[in-house]
Amino acid sequence: MEWGLGPRPQPPEALLTHFHIIGAGMAGLAAAHALATTGHAVTLHEATPGAGGRARALPDGTDNGTHALIGCNTAALQFLDAIGARQYWVQPEPDGLPVYDGADSSARLVALSPAGWWNGARRPAGISWGGVLALMAMALPPLGPFGRDRTIGEAMAAHPAFLRGFVDPLVIAALNTPSAEASTHRLGQVLRRLGAPGAARLFVARRGLGPDLVDPALAVLAAAGATYRPGSRLRAIQMEDGRATSLTFQEHDVMLGEADRVILALPPWEAQRMLTGLPAPDAFAPIVNLHFAFQPGGQVRFLGLLGALCQWVLIRPEGVAVTISAGDAEAEQDVAELAPRAWAEILRAVRAFHVPGDWPEAPPPCRVIKERRATPRQRPGPIPTPPRRPLANLVLAGDWTWPHLPATIEAAICSGQAAAREALA
């Protein structure tokens, strides 16, 4: 399917330039939105049948993971406002995150912001003053002799209970990398954003990322006159004298005029295939998502689990989804092994928090989605950051190109908007 509306009134300078955006993930959608809604001619090319990238919804509208935003994701929340989708995002646990510990069957509500820990009933398990100070040290800018980048496991070695009860779940969620190998500097980028009021508020899409993020973005692009081409895979980029001269797609070529611009919003391995020698991450961590065909009804809920296979459980009236981040071992297992373990843990957690619904003892049908290269591994050391403009008329976008945050929806949107600004420059 391809759509595009009639020409929209454009400023004179836009008549000279056509923007080709390669990849309709969140970075590509953000770049296309920034350009199309300001009157520029945009064609958005996507290799797969649907937009959204790694945040894409499955054909039935289900997310391919338990994606969430927090209050400090200001670029993502402002993007929701711009596409008229903020109303669809709800705050499922305003009183604190329900956390079930499989080791001792305890259940507690945990404040995600340290400002809420004044209430003893909302403190995470294993908290100590020493542990909090060690966490705060990671939030400091990495300057001087005390700014050495090291693993979070090393930095929290003296506080194993706090590492297990709060820090490790945060690391897994934000960095998709085990604490034993995750970078303190990368976690610090996240921690420095969590100090503002409301920064730790948790938001999820009420129906799913398809209807509550991707579809509204595409609708705004259509209204702005952009052209969207799903199933349009880029095969090669022809270059001459430091410029891209044409784009080779599966069924056609696009010749680039002198004023045309390209925004390449692809995963790092695809970008490297197009541009040999491009600096990019070369180690990746998987995410395993389980989707149970069970409709509990009721309200949207979001639960955290410790000492369990499941890490995050997103309960929507229409289904139950589980995310296993940094799931190296789980990525090699099949649904027959994973589903019974996960469902048994879900039952214990929902009973501990009295989540309504007629929850069956036997696991419902389960679909497993394995993202084997979900995100770069966020290890200590320099971040391989490519130039924003590797060719005179080509700009890069993608969460992996944004060195200021780990690979997240927020980073993807920031990179897409930065790429649009650079392409205009």
Q: Transcribe 254-297 into DSSP letters.
A: EEPPTT-EEEE---HHHHHHHSTT------EEEEEEEEE-----
pLDDT of residue 147: 74
Round to whole Å and give the CA distance between 344 and 309. 10
Position 71 scores a pLDDT of 96
Q: How far is CA 49 from CA 1, 59, 99, 228, 250, in A?
A: 8, 10, 37, 11, 14
Q: What residues in the chain have per-residue pLDDT under 50? A: 5-15
Task: For 342-363, give the DSSP string.
Answer: HHHHHHHHHHHTT--S---SSP
Instruction: List all residues 6 or more positions away from 94 whose beta carbon is below 8 Å from its beta carbon.
Output: 201
Close Cβ partners of 307 (under 8 Å, ≥ 6 residues apart): 101, 102, 103, 164
Residue 61's pLDDT is what? 62
Task: Tell me what pLDDT residue 56 has.
Answer: 78
d(CA 132, CA 243): 51
The predicted pLDDT at position 204 comes to 96
Burial of 317: CB neighbours in 10 Å, binned 0-12, 13-18, 19+: middle
* End-to-end CA gap in the chain: 32
CB-CB contact of 216 with 209 (8 Å): no
Bridge partners (DSSP) of residue 314 are 302, 321
Strand, helix or coil for residue 158:
coil
Angle between helices 409-424 and 26-36 (to 10 degrees): 40
Report the DSSP pairing between strands 243-249 and 234-240.
antiparallel
State the DSSP H helix or E strand holding residue 325, giving kind and residue range, or none if neither: strand 319-325
pLDDT at 107: 96
pLDDT at 5: 44
pLDDT at 9: 47
> Where does CATH 3.50.50.60 sit in the chain?
12-63+208-282+386-424
Supply the pLDDT for residue 145.
53
What is the tens place of the pLDDT at every residue in 363-383? 999 999 999 999 999 999 998
pLDDT of 386: 95
Q: What is d(CA 263, CA 252) in angstroms, rounded to the nearest whole number?
A: 18
The pLDDT value given to residue 118:
86
| Residue 120 confidence (pLDDT) | 87
Confidence at residue 57, expressed as pLDDT on a 0 to 100 scale: 66
| CATH T-level assignment (fold) for domain 12-63+208-282+386-424 | FAD/NAD(P)-binding domain (3.50.50)
Structure confidence at residue 60 (pLDDT): 65
